[in-house]
Each structure stands twice: as structure tokens, then as C-alpha cells.
Amino acid sequence: MSTQVKFTDVEVGTELPVATYPIDRLTLVKYAGASGDFNTIHWNERIATEVGLPNVIAHGMLTMATAVRVVTDWVGDPGAVIDYGVRFTRPVVVPNDDAGVVIEVSAKVTELLDANQVKVAITAKFEGQTVLGRAQAIVQLA
């Protein structure tokens, strides 16, 4: 594992660079193919609205994976994330247009742990509203 961030350079309150990540219908199709999750609420507006959703929604695991990118981009090594968990609080609704939506992600170091590990709290927002609750990662630093 090779990280770019050193434990000695981090303190509680260190803010990671804010990042934005686009998600459009093509992203959903690609994710469905890669994951094997072809649930119709992720690609069919009629089915999504029939089950009470406002429109097609992004896969929860896609949203989760997108949010942790702020950490992996910061640390420089996806393998440095040794634990990650979230609660899904709100779906990411993806319209059928060329623009799609943008998820804005910020994160902050909340705790220094033993063995050069840190706890990072992650905030993911879509249209100004949080989409993941209790999102946090444990990260191994150099």
C-alpha cells in the first residue's frame, strides 16, 4: 500500500478537498453492467414512479462508492481504506437528460487512531440535501 498522506501531517479537523462527481443515466447503465444490479428502478421511469419514487434513482452502492472517492483521491490509494460504512438517507434521483446530477462530497478527519489510522467523516449531498448518513471511513496512512 502506498499513500501520499502522512499520519504526522494530519490532525483532527483536517478537511479533505471538496469534490463533485457527475452521475447521469449512462453512468447508471455502466454501473448496472459492472455490478449485475439491473433492478428496474435504476433505469425505468414507469416502474420507479409506480413504486413511489420520483424518478429513476442511482444505485445505493454507486452512491456509496462515489462518496468514498473523496477519501481515495486524497490518500492516493483505494487500498488504504480499511473500513467504510454509511446509512442511506435519501435517493439520488437521476433525470433522463444529458446533464444528469452532481453529488458534492466533503470530508473531515474526526479522530486519530492507533497504527497511523484516521477516522474520516464524509458528507455527500445531492441538490443541497445529504444522501448518506453516518458515512465514515477508517484510513491507513503512511
Query: What are 68-109's pLDDT values in tens digits?
Result: 999 999 999 999 999 999 999 999 999 999 899 999 999 999
Residue 2 lies in a domain: no
Residue 133 lies in a domain: yes
| Number of separate domains in the chain | 1
Domain that holds residue 58: 7-140
> What pLDDT is stored for residue 113 in this prediction?
98
> What pLDDT is stored for residue 3 in this prediction?
66
CATH number at residue 85: 3.10.129.10
Residue 61 lies in a domain: yes
Give the end-to-end CA distance of the chain in Å, rounded to a whole number: 9
Coil, helix or strand for 69? Answer: helix
> What pLDDT is stored for residue 2 in this prediction?
60
Residue 1 lies in a domain: no
Residue 134 lies in a domain: yes
Mean pLDDT, consecutive 10-residue stretches, the chain (142 aa), reads: 83 98 96 96 96 97 98 96 97 95 98 97 97 98 95
> What pLDDT is stored for residue 4 in this prediction?
81
List of residues 6+ apart from 25 with CB closer than 8 A:
43, 56, 94, 96, 100
